[in-house]
Amino acid sequence: MSTPEATTREATPDVTVTVIVYNDAERLPRAVASVRRQTHADIEIIISDDHSTDDTPEVARRLAAEDARILHLRLPENSGGCSAPRNRALEIARAPYLMFLDSDDELPSDAVELLLAAHREREVDFVLGAVQRVRADTGRRSTWMPHLVAERRTVEGIEADPRLLFEHLSTSKMYTRAFLDRHGLRFPEGIHYEDQLFTAMAYCLAKEFTVIPEPVYRWYIEPYADSESRSISNQRHKLGNVADRVHVQRLIDAFLAESGHESLREDKDYKFLKHDFRMYAGDLPYRDEEWLTSFAEIVNPYLATLAPGAYARLPRAERVVLQLIREGRVTRARLAARGLGHGVAPRTVTADAQGRTYWGESVPDSPDARRELEVSDLELDTRPFPSAQFRHEITELTPGPGASLDLTVRTYDPGLRLAVGPQRARLLIAPGERLTVPFRLLPVRPGVFEGQVHLDLAAAPLPLRGFEGVRHPLLRLEQQGLPHTALLLAPLDFPTRTAHVAYRSGLSPHEVTVEPEGSGPGRLQIRWRPVGMTAKVVRPLARRVARPKVRRAVRLVRSALK
């Protein structure tokens, strides 16, 4: 049996925050510190350790010794998931309100105060707030599902706003202990994606819950973590991960049926297609045919059970990928998935006798396939030229002298928007001021053009302070004075190449790396990194000079807003 390794206090705290941890001795102090500095201090902190084998127990004991509010709970054996450490902490938690934190994340300093105030303002079963996503590599912040937490409101049952099924995190919420106990609601053990099932159950069982727009959780994203240390959500390359996600969806479906919430099924199915399946869809171009075949075998039986209305609510490009997976045409699905969400056109479309247009080289045979693969609504031949859909692909990439590249670019124009004959095009890239490389696209056959581009990265005009960052070239066309700019797809795998380039007198060299993007649509990725005096002296000096100017600008903006 798991036991706490600290003496509990007599007084009942207002809130218990459980920090779950497994083999994370390095980040645990940061997570716990974020709880200790809460503006509402009457809290209990339970560090629930899933039988770590690193220095986590020693770190947890040290933290508990520093603050009487902290208890260290160590499970007798590793459970392999998040549910057991949360549930064991629930058994000893003393407060009437409960929260959960993962050891690699943080709470904003006023999170407890904000959530507790909402509870005290109105009796509800739980309160949820906004989640800040933080890129661990860049520090860039964004709000998770911002449209769902844009305003303060109390929701009388999930049927009043089923969109909230998309906000399936258990850690963005403060629950009343009475609500969880009344329904015997605990985290399901022995499965992955337990948050999705737990949260779906909480939504369905709650009579009322409050949404507040303030950030109450800070979720750190580590895109470049090694495959074994990534969070479960970022292990999509594992087929077991796919099976786990499908399994929890079936459990949610069963709960909806048993609890009388089948009316939510289409909304829940739409959430699965738009969020869960969509994450895998964006990765399909990077999977081999064997993986794709196994993926289809796992997901297709479940896809067949989903409400037709859920498919109808999706963007057309996503419906095409889904249909190709359901038909087992995995190689074509991989092709269709490139550039999802970026307005990338199909390579080829086919029209039937009635003028309806379909994805691919032929009109589909079955009514279901025709419904899903029809792309007439993309208006490939009629939409305004600046928003027209083309497909630009680098078909050959040859390194040249220094930091130069010779590219063969092929443009697919399935809507036949471009005039017959050569087309003027430009490659654009802007690490500082924009570098523009003109070239010509020559017709290969109707709707297909090809051209050669010589890209010399040493000619890019960098600012005097140098440049550090990543850029992806764009391709621009013009028609009757109207510009069209779109992304350029690159080969998914080619050798990375790095060169040292001196850009101008007085500016020391930069290391310039050309590489595949490695995720998303798969663009040509170019990375600049200053070296020598630019990195050691020029850029730090420029930042110091700029900082007072930025502070003055911020003060001016604040004064204007007042």
CATH number of the domain encompassing residue 104: 3.90.550.10
Other CB atoms within 10 A of residue 305 CB: 11
402: which 2 tokens? 């220094």
* CATH code for position 438: 2.60.40.10
231 belongs to a structural domain: no
- Range of 244's domain? 239-378
- Please check whether residues 84 and 220 belong to one and the same domain: yes
Asked if 448 and 413 touch (Cβ cutoff 8 Å), the reply is yes
Residue found by looking up tokens 């590219």 in the block: 407
Asked if 270 and 310 touch (Cβ cutoff 8 Å), the reply is yes
537: which 2 tokens? 């002296």
- Please check whether residues 446 and 358 belong to one and the same domain: no
150: which 2 tokens? 């844009």
521 belongs to a structural domain: yes
- Please check whether residues 217 and 258 belong to one and the same domain: no
- Please check whether residues 202 and 59 belong to one and the same domain: yes
E strands, 103-243, are 126-135, 141-144, 153-155, 173-176, 209-221
What HEC string does 265-321 produce?
HHHHHHHHHHHHHHHHHHHHHHCCHHHHHHHHHHHHHHHCCCCHHHHHCCCHHHHHH
How far from chain centre, in Å, is Cα 34? Answer: 24
267 belongs to a structural domain: yes
546 belongs to a structural domain: no
- Digit-by-digit pLDDT tens for the chain (562 residues) are 454 554 445 689 999 999 999 999 999 999 999 999 999 999 999 999 999 999 999 999 999 999 999 999 999 999 999 999 999 999 999 999 999 999 999 999 999 999 999 999 999 999 999 999 998 888 899 999 999 999 999 999 999 999 999 999 999 999 999 999 999 999 999 999 999 999 999 999 999 999 999 999 999 998 655 444 445 556 788 999 999 999 999 999 999 999 999 999 999 999 999 999 999 999 999 999 999 999 999 999 999 999 999 999 999 999 999 999 999 999 999 999 999 999 999 999 999 999 999 999 999 999 999 999 999 999 999 999 999 999 999 999 999 999 999 999 999 999 999 999 999 999 999 998 899 999 999 999 999 999 999 999 999 988 888 899 999 999 999 999 999 999 999 999 999 999 999 876 556 689 999 999 998 999 999 999 998 765 565 555 655 655 555 445 434 533 543 3
Q: Which of 171, 194, 226 is the last residue of a domain?
A: 226
- Please check whether residues 255 and 196 belong to one and the same domain: no
CA distance 273 to 333: 15
539 belongs to a structural domain: no
Residue type, 89: A
Q: Which among 483, 479, 429, 476 has a CA at the least distance from the CA of 451?
A: 476
HSE-up of 99 (CA within 13 Å, CB side)? 29
- Please check whether residues 287 and 207 belong to one and the same domain: no
Q: Please state whether beta strands 510-516 and 497-501 pair in parallel, antiparallel, or not at all (unpaired).
A: antiparallel
351: which 2 tokens? 């029209």
- Please check whether residues 332 and 391 belong to one and the same domain: no
- Please check whether residues 390 and 471 belong to one and the same domain: yes
HSE-up of 470 (CA within 13 Å, CB side)? 9
- Please check whether residues 78 and 202 belong to one and the same domain: yes
- Please check whether residues 345 and 433 belong to one and the same domain: no
pTM of the model: 0.89
555 belongs to a structural domain: no
560 belongs to a structural domain: no
66 belongs to a structural domain: yes
- Please check whether residues 184 and 85 belong to one and the same domain: yes
Please give the DSSP secondary-structure letter assigned to residue 136. T
* Count of structural domains, the chain: 3
Q: Which of 327, 358, 378 is the last residue of a domain?
A: 378
- Please check whether residues 48 and 193 belong to one and the same domain: yes
Q: Which among 319, 327, 235 has a CA at the least distance from the CA of 278?
A: 319
Q: Which of 179, 197, 226 is the last residue of a domain?
A: 226
